[in-house]
Structure 1
Amino acid sequence: MKTLFFSAKPYEKASFNEHNNSYHQQIEYLDTHLGPHIVNAVEEGTFAVCVFVNDRLTPEVIEVLAAKGVKVIALRCAGFNNVHLDTARRLGIRVCRVPAYSPEAVAEHAVAMLLTLNRKTHKAYNRVREQNFSLNGLLGFNLYGKTAGVIGTGKIGRAFAKIMQGFGCRVLAYDLFPDETLKQAGVQYTSFDELLQQSDILSLHCPLTPENRYLINEKTLNKAKSGVTIINTSRGGLINTKDAIEALKTGKIAYLGIDVYEQEEKLFFHDLSGAIIADDLIQRLMSFPNVLVTGHQAFLTTEALAQIADTTLSSIAAFAAGQDPDPARILV
């Protein structure tokens, strides 16, 4: 039983190889992302393809996979907006994901970005290395007493909300399906507009769907507090980058931290230090002193990688045995 692994990185290979000692699957790793340019390289009889956030499983790609005999598309992530599920369903290909992999890892990274932007620790680090101990320009604000708005209260949003409560923040939340445990813990669910109007900090923790694409845009930003801090560790398409740039220029957004970007496919997970990046939007974003960009690393902890590997391999093994894995993992 062969699994072809796309967009493979060294840290993933190490984790999957370690956990595969319990599953004994035949794994072949490819560094390239899956898309029309490489799909014909999939060999006949490959049982599963294992993909990540920037692999593109369009209807055309899935058609080729089906013709090659692929039975399973295994996403080693929670989001699935890059897979055309209707085509997979029509062709009888099973699709699974990792619905939760250490949600605390992503939530903690969101908080780390917030603290870095606020207290400017990245700037202080560079200054001190140059023997500059001046405090000018490093002024921050207390998180204690601020209002944090959490958009999406699944497992990651829930973890983020609890951390912010620990800082002494008032926590507002917006979700189509409120979490009763968070309500009992003092989190106040409200309308999206009210959350925008009252929050000093906005943190995005929802999947990307056609309905919420560009959730943060010129119109919604106009409803937000002036000087709001926005953190996005979910999906880049939740923010209209052009509108965010305009809001940064006017001061409507005081700080912006993004671990995801709507055009990240050709950028993130690659070393481009010697290249000329043609994407003017990301270059403009990175020119702002109050913007922090990380390259989709929020998930990257030892614990998260272990859970991703074990969940993915066990799901493939279940399908191979003619069984279904945990229903929460199954998309098709």
Structure 2
Amino acid sequence: MSKPAVLLIGGLTHTNTEWKEFGSKYVLKEFRKGTREQFLSNCKNGEYDDVVALYRSNTSTSETGPFDEELVSVLPRSLKYICHNGAGYDNIDVDACTRKGLEISSTPIAVDDATADVGIFLLLGALRQAWIPLTAIKAGKWRGNTPLGHDPKGKVLGILGMGGIGRAIAKRARAFGMKIAYHNRSRLPPTLEEDATYLSFDELLAQSDVLSLNLSLNAKTRHIISAPEFAKMKDGVVIVNTARGALMNEEDLVAALEDGKVSSVGLDVFEEEPKVHEGLLKSERAFIVPHIGTNTYETQREMELLVLQNLESAVDKGVLLTPIPEQKGKLNGHL
């Protein structure tokens, strides 16, 4: 009986040894470097016609471009599973994959702690407006025009999207004495909710002193925070975003920052990365870092291992370990 074939798209940094070990039971195919045109041509020419599962690295978009409808349409009929490295998967057309019967996994859990750590770092930096003293001391001006900051203790932290990362942020924020409120598609069970208060979307906007965005980007959540939502928030609200930049209308965010509706922001993500809005670059009240939420050795390795585990489970058992939630109930089999 011939071995099943699997495909690696993009590079590996920490798990090349584990990938090569798969060669004992799978036919290993690779597209580590190349262009979208080359990949599309490979698909059309039948190079991957025996592939049942693929590993899509977190750098693969630079090689193939997004997994949009055009690309998905030429993927081999043999393919059943797309194992994606990343908690976010907005560069995959989920609807197109679902129509083709392709099951997708991502890497939740593995990213939770590192992303939450950066979230708290940004939260504290925004509350203290830390960008001002950081740039002042580098310029030899000691504190410069550093204003008084704010303590997190007693503040309401509103979490929009209480998944694994949101709960990890809540856990850390409790240590600083913050009160936790959240809004989700559905209320959490008591074991996960703990002491957090479940609010409607509008209630969360109105009651949060700090609003943390921790939800996936999709057609429904794009620009979920825009001018009308800023208008419903407290004057002087602090915004933290470690999820995806396009969850907010960046033009509206800059306007709210400039007129004082938003007192400060802590951002790891931006709407048109790597481009950053000029208004955020110029604002002393924007505490920003360049999408480094999962940029640690431990987390990067754990993410790569989880993708390999998803791929192995899918090929050997027909079950993805961490399937994306949008596909549950839409495909036959184990979803």
Taking structure 1 as the reference length, the TM-score comes to: 0.82
- Matched with 2:282 is 287
| Structure 1 Cα separation of the partners of residues 213 and 282 of structure 2 | 23
Supply the AA of the counterpart residue of 2:40. Answer: V
Supply the AA of the counterpart residue of 1:306. Answer: R
Supply the AA of the counterpart residue of 2:300. Answer: L
Query: Residue 119 of structure 2: which of 89, 94, 110 is its match?
Result: 110
- Matched with 2:7 is 3
Q: CA RMSD in A?
A: 2.8
**Distance of aligned partners of 1:286 and 1:37 in 2 relative to their CA distance in 1, 3 Å threshold:** farther
- Matched with 2:74 is 64
| Structure 2 Cα separation of the partners of residues 64 and 58 of structure 1 | 11
| Structure 1 Cα separation of the partners of residues 219 and 118 of structure 2 | 26
Query: Residue 169 of structure 1: which of 178, 181, 196 is its match?
Result: 178
1:14 aligns with 2:13: yes
CA contact (8 A) 1:214 1:237 kept: yes
May I ask how many residue pairs the two structures share in their alignment?
A: 310
Q: Cα deviations across residues 40-72 of structure 1 (Å, max 9, x unaligned)?
A: 3567127325143855111111122227x6553
CA contact (8 A) 1:102 1:303 kept: no
Aligned residue for 1:15, secondary structure, equals: coil
CA contact (8 A) 2:58 2:84 kept: yes
Supply the AA of the counterpart residue of 1:62. Answer: V
1:290 deviates by 1.2
Q: Cα deviations across residues 226-264 of structure 1 (Å, max 9, x unaligned)?
A: 111101111222101111111112111111222222222
**Distance of aligned partners of 1:240 and 1:329 in 2 relative to their CA distance in 1, 3 Å threshold:** closer
- Matched with 2:226 is 217
Query: Residue 157 of structure 1: which of 158, 162, 166 is its match?
Result: 166
Supply the AA of the counterpart residue of 1:220. Answer: E
Query: Residue 45 of structure 1: which of 41, 45, 48 is its match?
Result: 48
CA contact (8 A) 2:268 2:288 kept: yes
- Matched with 2:32 is 30
**Distance of aligned partners of 1:49 and 1:307 in 2 relative to their CA distance in 1, 3 Å threshold:** closer
1:197 aligns with 2:198: no
Aligned residue for 1:321, secondary structure, equals: helix
Aligned residue for 1:193, secondary structure, equals: helix
Identity of aligned residues (%): 26
1:101 aligns with 2:105: no
**Distance of aligned partners of 1:243 and 1:125 in 2 relative to their CA distance in 1, 3 Å threshold:** closer
CA contact (8 A) 2:132 2:146 kept: no
Supply the AA of the counterpart residue of 1:52. Answer: N
User: Which sections of structure 1, spanning at least 5 residues, go unmatched?
Assistant: 268-278
CA contact (8 A) 1:99 1:329 kept: no
| Structure 2 Cα separation of the partners of residues 5 and 234 of structure 1 | 24
Q: Cα deviations across residues 173-203 of structure 1 (Å, max 9, x unaligned)?
A: 11122222354x3211112212111211000
Aligned residue for 2:92, secondary structure, equals: coil
Aligned residue for 2:277, secondary structure, equals: helix
Supply the AA of the counterpart residue of 2:69. Answer: P
Q: Cα deviations across residues 201-233 of structure 1 (Å, max 9, x unaligned)?
A: 000111123222211111010000111110111
- Matched with 2:266 is 257
CA contact (8 A) 2:132 2:145 kept: no
| Structure 2 Cα separation of the partners of residues 117 and 19 of structure 1 | 41
1:324 aligns with 2:319: yes
Q: Which moved more, 1:36-45 or 1:288-297?
A: 36-45
Aligned residue for 1:161, secondary structure, equals: helix
Supply the AA of the counterpart residue of 2:265. Answer: L
CA contact (8 A) 1:58 1:83 kept: yes
Aligned residue for 2:279, secondary structure, equals: helix
| Structure 1 Cα separation of the partners of residues 299 and 319 of structure 2 | 23
- Matched with 1:91 is 100
| Structure 2 Cα separation of the partners of residues 292 and 323 of structure 1 | 44
Aligned residue for 1:74, secondary structure, equals: strand
Q: Cα deviations across residues 134-153 of structure 1 (Å, max 9, x unaligned)?
A: 36325311111111111111
Aligned residue for 2:13, secondary structure, equals: helix
| Structure 2 Cα separation of the partners of residues 297 and 39 of structure 1 | 31
- Matched with 1:315 is 310
User: Which sections of structure 2, spanning at least 5 residues, go unmatched?
Assistant: none
CA contact (8 A) 2:9 2:32 kept: yes
**Distance of aligned partners of 1:31 and 1:118 in 2 relative to their CA distance in 1, 3 Å threshold:** farther
